[in-house]
Amino acid sequence: MKVAIVIPFYNEGKRINSEHFNQIFSAFQYYDFLLVDDGSSDNTVAILEEFESRFSNVAILKLNKNVGKAEAIRSAVLSITDVDFISYLDADLATPFSELDRLIQFSAQNLNLKIVMGARIKLIGNGVKRSLKRHYFGRVFATIVSQFVLKVAVYDTQCGAKVIDYKIAKKLFEEPFVSRWLFDVELLKRLQKTHDLNDVVKEIPLEQWEEVGKSKIKFSEFLSFPFQLLKIYRKYD
């Protein structure tokens, strides 16, 4: 099983936990990591280059300008060849890599699925730690997406840990996204054009997830989310 894992970075120099990344790259040498620098203006590239020099399973994709998470991941996906699965993960490691590995293993055992997504659900006995503000915003957002956009029950489209079948990923990421931050919803809408999401998508509750620092999404962009959802709805329905 060949897996390519995409991790986008933008001005993360002060937040990159080098020790954790070194442990991940060393422990999971059977995965290929593609680190995308999204036009950073700090020392992010230097840190990524150090990872690349130390580990044979790490490569860097450097973008000349900041294009946003959606386009950064899309550029990476389009550059990847000859793998079974493409996965992506947020650079803050709010989702521990062991959790992403669990999603990958589940995907390998359920080849009928096209997308396996982590879901940040606070349950008794698990280690999901999320602020009330983000939790309630997430519930409102998920309800809107479920009821009006996808019209399929979904709990957490915005979780940063996903695993996608390689062939379907190539098709889903082929065209640019109309939304800068809500591209995960767009992915599902694109997949919905050819598949019943209930048959090919699975959400897996995470055992561990912890909010790390402040969101990079500006408040003005939060306010634009309803308009971005409307744009997605109009484009794909």
Predicted confidence (pLDDT) per residue in 176-211, tens digit: 999 888 999 999 999 999 999 999 999 999 999 998
d(CA 94, CA 100): 11
Cβ-based neighbours of 195, under 8 Å, separated by 6 or more: 114
Under 8 Å between Cβ of 183 and 75: no
Residue 47 backbone dihedrals phi, psi, to 5 degrees: -70, -40
Read off the pLDDT of each residue in 216-233 and give the average, rounded to a whole number.
Answer: 75
- Read off the pLDDT band of 77 (50, 70, 90): very high
Percent of the chain beyond pLDDT 90?
Answer: 79
Contacts of 167 (CB under 8 A, 6+ apart): none
Find out whether 226 and 179 touch, Cβ atoms under 8 Å. no
Nearest to 160 by CA among 75, 90, 87, 74: 90
What confidence score (pLDDT) does residue 225 get?
A: 81
Per-residue pLDDT at 136: 81
What is the average pLDDT value for the chain, to the nearest integer? Answer: 93
218 band by pLDDT with thresholds 50, 70 and 90? low
